[in-house]
Amino acid sequence: MIATLKHDNGVGIAAPQVFQSLRIIIVYSYPSPRYPYALEFGPEAMINPKITERSKEKEKGWEGCLSIPGIRGLVSRHRKITVKYTARNGELKTMKAKDFVARIIQHEVDHLDGRLCFLFTKESIKDLVTEKVWQKKITESKKVNKN
């Protein structure tokens, strides 16, 4: 799963995306061409992840999906979550996550729960863009932030 993730510059992947009927996700956030502002986190395998707490506060953010290459969707997600899971070594863990890492976990747990990422969470078709348009938005925001 990590090899697939790295090959496609992803930050998260769920076992069903690689044709495994298992409740496992990998969260591996790092700066890449697809996510130049990503924080460093992981890789962390989460077996049977369960989100047990969600903040009331939500935030919209652009998400990509390895299952639907070339498209980005603007999705509202909880800013903070608590997730319980089993680690690769069998240890039961509880982790609090916020912002980008929380978004990744929520996205991947959606896959485990049979929701195909951002396509079914859209308020409007206007919240979908091509990867090319999204990359242009990133480039423009870099120019604005430098000035």
Q: Note the pLDDT tens digit of each residue in 104-130.
A: 999 999 999 988 766 655 555 667 777
Question: Does 51 score more than 90 pLDDT?
Answer: yes
Q: Can you name the residues that pair with 94 across neighbouring β-strands?
A: 84
From CA 22, how far away is CA 48, in angstroms rounded?
8
Is it the case that residue 75 has pLDDT exceeding 70?
yes
pLDDT average, residue stretch 21-33: 93
Residue 68's pLDDT is: 85
pTM of the model: 0.84
Upper half-sphere CA count for residue 111 (Cβ side, 13 Å): 26
Question: What is the b/e burial string over 23-49, where b = at least 16 CB atoms within 10 angstroms of the residue's CB?
Answer: bbbbbbbeeeebbeebeeebbbbbbeb
Q: Is 57 a catalytic residue?
A: no
Residue that wins the pLDDT comparison between 23 and 139: 23
- Cβ atoms of 34 and 104 within 8 Å: the answer is no
99: left (phi over 0), alpha (psi -120 to 50) or beta: left
Find the catalytic residue in 108, 123, 131, 140: 108
Higher pLDDT pick, 147 / 2: 2
Annotation: CATH topology of 2-146: Peptide Deformylase (3.90.45)
Quote the CA–CA distance of 61 and 127 in Å, as a whole number.
10
